[in-house]
Amino acid sequence: MNSFGHIFRITSFGESHGAGLGVVVDGCPAGLKLDLEAIQHELDRRKPGQNPLTTQRKESDTFELLSGMAGAVTTGAPLAFLVRNEDQKSADYDHIEHVFRPSHADYGWFAKYGLRDHRGGGRSSARETLARVIGGAVAKQLLQTACGLQIEAWVHAIHTLELPNWPASLLLETQAQQWTRCPDANLAQQMADAIENARQAGDSLGGVIGCRIQHVPPGLGAPVFDKVHALLGHAVLSINAVKGIEFGSGFEGSRLKGSEHNDEFYMEGERVRTRTNHSGGMQGGISNGEDILFKTAFKPTSTIMQDQRSVDTAGNEAIAKGKGRHDPCVVPRAVPIVEAMAALVMADLWLRSKADRI
């Protein structure tokens, strides 16, 4: 399926080495004043070639808005966006036309469809995520306008380098902070050095992105299948290279006793608050009004500049050679993608909540 969401719904299309990629955003209410420059800013945060630590494929990732607005506001009709590919070099992939790359989607796609687009992975390429970022940028503006909800993510870890706590500030003042998206200046420089060392060695690194959803209305989500964390898990785990997600205290919480882990309630004026937030802003799958907190793990980039053993489409042993332009670490560029998927979930939940009671 190429669609995500119920009321607020996106459908993405296009391939990494086709004419372009895009997204149709359906269910956005009419009358939303949409800041198109803010949407482009989100794409710029994700685009390739933005600094020496990323793939050097050069794409402006400038979008065209095809429908859904009259003047500066949405009409309620589907919003359609298109981003044209400008720097695809399909010949870079000729050497793996008949060879499955280790840890890529190549073999699974071939087993499912009986063929595959070897040029950058086709639909399985992370380039598809630009469609999610556009949809998420619209969702962010809807949420900010409707209820003041805000979403911010950052790089929490690269390889073995990790922030010790949830950061209080996400200011990115130094060049290393801006390149790595890590708010700790000293750690950001260490991360930048580690990524560059991996690139020079023809290798790659993974890491962890943290995300904080603020000003969340209590009562979003449903207690059975559509728990907030279940939907966020679905959304985030659909991102390329994501291998795990944890909420609040996560796996560390399993080492606590109930007396240590339970989030006790108290009143602050007319608002119900919790003394801790081990649950990550949810109980019973429903938001409690506290910040929703989660971390998500990304594997090391599968394409490395080293020869690896594999097989070809005829079942013969083969060598998959590492060539082309690839990120030695995808984590910094994935920060706006994580924010986008969280925004899509929360926008859909907010709209669905309008039907929860008379």
Please indicate, yes or no, if residue 320 is contained in any of the structural domains. yes
Total domains in the chain come to 1
Q: Token pair for residue 126? A: 């992370």
pTM of the predicted protein model: 0.95
The phi, psi pair for 115, rounded to 5°, reads -160, 170
Q: What confidence tens digit (pLDDT) does each residue in 273-306 have?
A: 999 999 999 999 999 999 999 999 999 998 888 8
Q: Is 144 within a domain?
A: yes
Task: Report if residue 358 sits inside a domain.
Answer: no
Q: Is residue 289 part of a domain?
A: yes
Model confidence pLDDT, tens digit, residues 163-198: 999 999 999 999 999 999 999 999 999 999 999 999
In-domain check, residue 108 = yes
| pLDDT of 99 | 84
At 48-63, the pLDDT tens digits run 888 888 877 778 899 9
- DSSP 8-state assignment for residue 326: -
Residue 178 in any domain: the answer is: yes
CB proximity list for 292: less than 8 A, separation 6 or greater: 212, 213, 216, 228, 232, 247, 280, 281, 282
Domain extent at residue 333: 3-353
Q: Is 95 a member of any domain?
A: yes
Q: Is residue 36 part of a domain?
A: yes
- CATH code for the domain of 94: 3.60.150.10
